[in-house]
Amino acid sequence: MSITAWRIVQKRWIQAAFSGYGARLEGGRWNCAGIPMVYTAESLALASLEMIVHLPEASLLYATYVRIPVTFSPDQVTVLSKETLPADWNSIPESESTQKIGTKWALANRSLVLKVPSSVVPEEHNFLINPSHPEAAHLSIGAPAPFCFDPRLVK
């Protein structure tokens, strides 16, 4: 059995969607700047929420987006449970402690995917993909399809 995760990106970024480029430039909750990482979610709904909370302005909801499924094997995944994380794991803005955890995982290169709780919906999970891992070249990345945010989200 395989796992399917979801990534939503602006259409203009399709070619770089699984490069980790954006996270490498800016850093994120689970990586320091300079470390490439691809953030995906266990459901399309969670991927959309994660995208919304990270938009710098609501007008970007009207940009042209695509959704992209990615499939991988459970044996390629390392799991981090909430119980093992520092108390500030879901702080806003993100904490240095979680950035160090994800960066250490990425640099160790022991697994392709890291499963972490979502700070947006802590009962759900994000899958962080290490694009520098040797198995990244063998990810099953599906075809991009149009994705539109419901305009009622920003009344």
Q: Helices (H), strands (E): how many in the chain? A: 3, 8
Q: Convert the pLDDT of each residue in 95-149 to its tens digit.
A: 999 999 999 999 999 999 999 999 999 999 999 999 999 999 999 999 999 999 9
- What structural domains does the chain harbor? 3-154 (3.90.175)
Strands (E), 11-148: 38-41, 65-72, 77-79, 113-117, 125-129, 140-141, 145-147
Residue among 59, 44, 53, 45 at smallest CA distance from 154:
59
The H-or-E segment that residue 9 falls in is strand 3-10
Task: Note if the pTM is more than 0.85.
Answer: yes
pLDDT band for 59, please (50, 70, 90 cuts): confident
* Mean pLDDT on 12-22: 96
SS3 of the chain: helix, strand, coil, percent, to 5: 35, 25, 40
**Nearest-angstrom CA–CA distance, 12 and 63:** 10
**Nearest-angstrom CA–CA distance, 17 and 22:** 9
Q: Which structure tokens are listed for 121?
A: 């919906």
Q: Note the pLDDT of residue 90.
A: 92
pLDDT band for 153, please (50, 70, 90 cuts): confident
**Nearest-angstrom CA–CA distance, 68 and 61:** 17
Cβ atoms of residues 2 and 71 within 8 Å: yes
pLDDT at 155 over 70: no
